[in-house]
Amino acid sequence: MFKHYFEQIDNVAIWPIISLVIFVVFFVGLTLYVMSHDKETIDEIASIPLADDDVLPESGEKS
């Protein structure tokens, strides 16, 4: 069914290549972003889902 639709599109072979390039650029960018931060910041961000909900991170006050 989809083969019929894809056969009607001109230059359909370029779209997987464009998708791969977008994915690689995003992955490399994200890797560079993560590697540019120090380990303490990454550990702090990683522990956010496990943090106690009663303590606010900015003020340290309990609600």
CB atoms within 10 A of CB 44: 13
Q: Is residue 27 part of a domain?
A: yes
Q: What is the pLDDT of residue 62?
A: 52
Q: What is the pLDDT of residue 31?
A: 94
What's the domain count of the chain?
Answer: 1
Q: Is residue 48 part of a domain?
A: no
Q: Is residue 3 part of a domain?
A: no
pTM score of the predicted model = 0.54
Mean pLDDT by 10 residues, the chain (63 residues): 79 89 97 90 86 62 50
Q: What is the pLDDT of residue 51?
A: 78
In the beta sheet, which residues pair with residue 55? 62
Q: Is residue 18 part of a domain?
A: yes
Structure tokens at 6: 């894809």
Q: Is residue 54 part of a domain?
A: no
Structural domain containing residue 28: 12-38
Q: Is residue 23 part of a domain?
A: yes
